[in-house]
């Protein structure tokens, strides 16, 4: 048994990575203990791809998604600058994170979401944390444009990933992977929605190489849902449509940065259809014990698609980011592969009957 008081409590991104986040004594740190998420080896994915596949489970951040890494920095900076309110556009995860960190900071969160296009789990988080929520009759891109105009014209601080503080905080996930592995992986698979996360990982890996913490940078493999794939198509998608609500974005704010990460790494950005996304969600949950929302499962589906295309060298070390917990969009976990509802079997309160039903008798 460890000696009492001998284990240090994780202090959150701004404290743990203060040396790369420009934290000063005057900084106002608003943290919920984000970061430090596990890197889990997937036995089945490793066997299927003949590689070493490790899953960075960002759903174990405080509000259930990777957004918390950037939000702690963005909200801390907002408070430091005297802001009394923050604003964001969101498909769900950003609003949940912004609402929680605003509550912790004692300031108001204003969140704009597309009407009828946000999961109840994510909306509930914004509600319970006390955010002022406006459902906009439009899509995410409309919400983001309005949020930017609000920040320009009124005393509110924008905390979407167009704010570089968000990218700075999110780069720490790449640094954690390097810290655990002792080097960068050969390949990194990641969902692409607004494209802030692929941008931040590339920044983190580039920093690790520059400082000598890593000897290389990985090939970045990003994946968009087929119904919301503007980067793949090379044009804005006016009505993005996919079960992967967190990446249902038609005009990514970090579009060019995503292309830079792809091109500089010799990587790839591809499109995956919803059926493959949902199959991958169930595969990861049933084989690795990691339950993620559909937008996260696209990393798994994308890896399998690239392997089938012969693009994954045997023996590679692959990091795979899953960005949000499955409880964020739990309805899809209740569906079978054919799309029907999962219905548990029933029995009387009788041991013999239960044993017979289970095939034990």
Q: Does residue 344 sit within a domain? A: no
Per-residue pLDDT tens digits for 88-110:
999 889 999 999 999 999 999 99
Residue 206 sits in the same domain as residue 196: yes
Residue 30 sits in the same domain as residue 93: no
Q: Read off the pTM.
A: 0.93
Q: What is the mean pLDDT of the chain?
A: 94
Quote the CA–CA distance of 201 and 145 in Å, as a whole number. Answer: 25
Band (pLDDT 50/70/90 cuts) for residue 337 is confident
Residue 274 sits in the same domain as residue 288: yes
User: Does 161 have pLDDT greater than 90?
Assistant: no
Task: Rounding to the nearest 10 degrees, give the CA dihedral for residues 57, 61, 66, 69.
Answer: -130
Mean pLDDT of 186-197: 97
Residue numbering of the annotated binding site for pyridoxal 5'-phosphate: 93, 193-197, 323
Per-residue pLDDT tens digits for 19-29:
999 876 667 89
CATH code: domain of residue 78: 3.40.50.1100
Residue 151 sits in the same domain as residue 281: no
Q: Which domain holds residue 32?
A: 13-63+166-334
Helix (H) or strand (E) holding 319, with range, is strand 317-322
How high is the pLDDT of residue 91?
Answer: 84
How high is the pLDDT of residue 26?
Answer: 64
Residue 160 sits in the same domain as residue 308: no
Band (pLDDT 50/70/90 cuts) for residue 7 is low
SS3 186: coil
**What total number of domains does the chain contain?**
2
Quote the CA–CA distance of 293 and 296 in Å, as a whole number. Answer: 5
CB atoms near residue 150 (< 10 Å): 18
Residue 195 sits in the same domain as residue 252: yes
User: Does 56 have pLDDT greater than 60?
Assistant: yes
Residue numbering of the annotated binding site: 93, 193-197, 323
Q: Across the strands, what pairs with 335?
A: 341
How high is the pLDDT of residue 4?
Answer: 57
How high is the pLDDT of residue 1?
Answer: 47
How high is the pLDDT of residue 339?
Answer: 77
| Pairing mode, strands 52-57 and 39-41 | antiparallel
């Amino acid at each position: 048994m460890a000696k009492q008081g001998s284990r240090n409590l994780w202090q959150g991104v701004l404290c743990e990575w203060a040396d790369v986040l420009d934290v000063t004594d005057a900084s106002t740190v608003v943290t919920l203990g984000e970061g430090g998420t596990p890197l889990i080896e997937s036995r089945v994915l490793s066997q299927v791809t003949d590689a070493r596949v490790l899953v960075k489970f960002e759903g174990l951040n405080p509000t259930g998604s990777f957004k918390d890494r950037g939000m702690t920095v963005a909200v801390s900076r907002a408070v430091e600058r005297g802001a009394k309110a923050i604003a964001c556009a969101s498909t769900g995860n950003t609003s949940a994170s912004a609402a929680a960190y605003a509550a912790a900071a004692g300031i108001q969160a204003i969140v704009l979401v597309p009407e009828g296009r946000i999961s109840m789990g994510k909306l509930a988080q914004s509600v319970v944390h006390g955010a002022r929520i406006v459902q906009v009759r439009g899509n995410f891109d409309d919400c983001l444009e309005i949020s930017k105009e609000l920040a320009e014209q009124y005393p509110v601080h924008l905390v979407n990933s167009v704010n570089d503080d968000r990218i700075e905080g999110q780069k720490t996930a790449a640094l954690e992977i390097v810290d655990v592995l002792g080097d960068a992986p050969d390949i990194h698979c990641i969902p692409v929605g607004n494209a802030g996360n692929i941008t931040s990982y590339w920044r983190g890996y580039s920093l690790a190489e520059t400082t000598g913490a890593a000897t290389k940078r990985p090939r970045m493999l990003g994946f968009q849902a087929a119904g919301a794939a503007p980067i793949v198509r090379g044009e804005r998608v006016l009505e993005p449509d996919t079960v992967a609500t967190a990446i249902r974005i038609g005009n990514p704010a970090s579009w060019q940065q995503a292309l830079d990460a792809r091109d500089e790494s010799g990587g790839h950005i591809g499109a995956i259809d919803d059926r493959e996304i949902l199959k991958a969600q169930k595969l990861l949950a049933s084989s690795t014990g990691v339950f993620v929302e559909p937008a996260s499962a696209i990393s798994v589906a994308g890896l399998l698609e690239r392997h089938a295309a012969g693009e994954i060298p045997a023996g590679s070390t692959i990091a795979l980011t899953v960005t949000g917990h499955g409880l964020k969009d739990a309805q899809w976990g209740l569906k079978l592969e054919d799309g029907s509802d999962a219905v548990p079997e029933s029995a009387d309160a009788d041991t013999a009957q239960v044993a017979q039903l289970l095939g034990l008798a």
